[in-house]
Chain A
């Protein structure tokens, strides 16, 4: 019995030698490039993020807490975001798994077109996305009069916010799953069927455990993007204070509020969103590692077999 080596050397290490090797640039080129990167990152990323927290906490932690919870409108905005985002994420998980399944498990005409269509929301400006829904559901839109007759409120209410958020984040889950499912292949699923599993059992016991890290990765990215969505929501939500404001909209309202009080409140809410991005970043790094390992293993089993 022979065992399959788990880690194959992928490249030979060039032994370090004194003096400059052919691939190495002179020291001043290296240092210029490194300093430039650090400078750009500092000015464009680190400084602004630190500044958000500085402004948020400039009056102390008590004031910060009061800014977040003392104001009913701000609290409502947080609640609305926490209500709408899970809806959008759930819709994306269902759509993403279904689309990835269709694309990787079946061969049908229009398959490549569907793959391209999934990416479309990335290419469309969020403002345009919002306008598209206004044109559909607005008072002068296609479904507007009908909705009005039946007393259904979509625009200027949470359904529109959920819809545009789903639209804007649509590609995240599907895009993560397609390469994972492609690499893993359908053999295990067919094996499950041949062993007597029905479609549901196959999906939950074989497919989901195989794609869980990729799926979670997609969900995390989708969640971060959904919470931060501003443009599309701005167009459809009507910006009724205390009713249809989400967190990013609330940040904007407070920022434009004019007083120093609303100014620091806006930074408090902004810092909450920023913290969310930082947490997302760390989870993303951890999950990326897991999905890469999954993909590598899938590639390896295909190679050795």
Chain B
């Protein structure tokens, strides 16, 4: 069941939670809505589920317009960040709830609950109460409960946000496996880019109520469409400068930029990830930047080096792989040369400019 969202807008008082958002979730895919808090991702999810109403726009499931349908008629499974399990009911009754309110026959409920508890690996815990389970177990119960009503799609609101790092990691992989088994169209909201990239087929990056970029994790990571996406997906070094004649001149850093072959000079900003910078002891390449090492931290999977260029008053973060770090033997105070293997240049939209 695919989901199509057309021109959704939603306002809370003076705050624009969603501003003309359109989105398509292909049938059977696992899509992540990624963004900082206040970006509108949870509002979008709740409107898709029917738990909130949009001021404008439509929601379609496949070819059916569900914009004005109640959550009950939409038949979606929703998983809440804080689980929202029914505290006075056993695990069995929690999972059975959706079937009970639909008055399904007892034997069917019995079978389906046990089947689902097996699926989420909680067999034998059906007599417990939610308060007797760990966070990870509770979230799996919430998932089983959502799946019990045979939903047309699964919507998860920051499903692992309240769990500690190790359990989160486990559940992520498990969600991916589960999705590969049952192929239910799934949308989940997260502010954790690592989680989005690890689990999802498609990632939609949101900011201030609109979609910045959508695509496969690879596409989004390798070709960020906007400075916001670039910045949100990890650490970046930012260079300000100009572009002209197919070159980006960032003062400290000059690189080819064939996308802009015009003679007229324009302001631009270049973004370089820490692992895209190289360090040498001697000048190298066409334009390497002289800097001194200020900080070295080799603890972790990469060595994090911080350098400072006196000439441009610019501090840069460089990630070196550990072999390279061992070769260079960097110490604070060392004089080094830095150059970028790769950079992304963004030009601010200018009203007076036309190609």
Residues of A within 8 A of B72 (CB): 193, 196-198
Residues of A within 8 A of B137 (CB): 1
B135 CB-CB contact with A under 8 Å: yes
A297 CB-CB contact with B under 8 Å: yes
- Are A301 and B87 touching (Cβ within 8 A)? yes
Q: How far is the CB of A219 from chain B (nearest CB, A)?
A: 19
Residues of B within 8 A of A198 (CB): 72, 101
B14 CB-CB contact with A under 8 Å: no
A190 CB-CB contact with B under 8 Å: yes
Given A1-B134, A2-B134, A305-B82, are A194 and B76 neighbors across the interface (CB < 8 Å)?
yes
Q: Determine the distance from Cα of A209 to Cα of B145 in the docked complex, in whole angstroms.
A: 19
Q: How far is the CB of A89 from chain B (nearest CB, A)?
A: 24
A201 CB-CB contact with B under 8 Å: yes
B295 CB-CB contact with A under 8 Å: no
Q: Determine the distance from Cα of A218 to Cα of B51 in the docked complex, in whole angstroms.
A: 32
Q: How many residues of A contact B (CB 8 A)?
A: 27
Question: Which residue of chain A lies nearest to B97 when distances are taken between CB atoms in the complex?
Answer: A195
- Are B51 and A190 touching (Cβ within 8 A)? yes
B71 CB-CB contact with A under 8 Å: yes
Residues of B within 8 A of A1 (CB): 134, 136-137, 167
Residues of A within 8 A of B84 (CB): 187-188, 190-191
Given A188-B86, A198-B72, are A193 and B162 neighbors across the interface (CB < 8 Å)?
no
Q: Determine the distance from Cα of A302 to Cα of B167 in the docked complex, in whole angstroms.
A: 19
Q: What string of 1s and 0s marks CB contacts (under 8 Å) between A186-212 and chain B?
A: 011011111111100100011001100
For window 279-305 of chain A, which residues contact chain B by CB distance below 8 Å?
A: 297, 300-302, 304-305
- Are A196 and B101 touching (Cβ within 8 A)? yes
B83 CB-CB contact with A under 8 Å: yes
Q: How far is the CB of B16 from chain A (nearest CB, A)?
A: 19
Q: How far is the CB of A182 from chain B (nearest CB, A)?
A: 15
Q: How far is the CB of B117 from chain A (nearest CB, A)?
A: 15
- Are B88 and A301 touching (Cβ within 8 A)? no
Q: Determine the distance from Cα of A248 to Cα of B88 in the docked complex, in whole angstroms.
A: 40
Residues of B within 8 A of A187 (CB): 80, 82, 84
Residues of A within 8 A of B97 (CB): 192, 195, 197, 205
- Are B102 and A4 touching (Cβ within 8 A)? no
Q: Per a CB cutoff under 8 Å, which of A2, A194, A196, A210 touches B87?
A: A210
Q: Determine the distance from Cα of A192 to Cα of B82 in the docked complex, in whole angstroms.
A: 14
Q: How far is the CB of A54 from chain B (nearest CB, A)?
A: 46
A11 CB-CB contact with B under 8 Å: no
A3 CB-CB contact with B under 8 Å: yes
Q: Determine the distance from Cα of A6 to Cα of B102 in the docked complex, in whole angstroms.
A: 35
- Are B51 and A206 touching (Cβ within 8 A)? no
B131 CB-CB contact with A under 8 Å: yes
Residues of A within 8 A of B101 (CB): 192, 195-198, 201, 205
Q: Determine the distance from Cα of A2 to Cα of B136 in the docked complex, in whole angstroms.
A: 9
Given A187-B84, A196-B98, A197-B97, are A305 and B134 neighbors across the interface (CB < 8 Å)?
no
Pick from A6, A187, A191 the residue with the most CB of B within 10 Å. Answer: A191
B149 CB-CB contact with A under 8 Å: yes
- Are B71 and A196 touching (Cβ within 8 A)? yes
Residues of A within 8 A of B49 (CB): 194
* Given contact pairs A1-B167, A195-B98, A304-B135, a sample of 4 additional A-B residue pairs in the complex whose CB atoms are under 8 Å apart: A190-B84, A210-B87, A210-B88, A305-B82
| A interface residues (Cβ-Cβ under 8 A, vs B) | 1-4, 6, 187-188, 190-198, 201, 205-206, 209-210, 297, 300-302, 304-305
| B interface residues (Cβ-Cβ under 8 A, vs A) | 49, 51, 71-72, 75-78, 80-89, 97-98, 100-102, 131, 134-137, 145-146, 148-149, 162, 164, 167
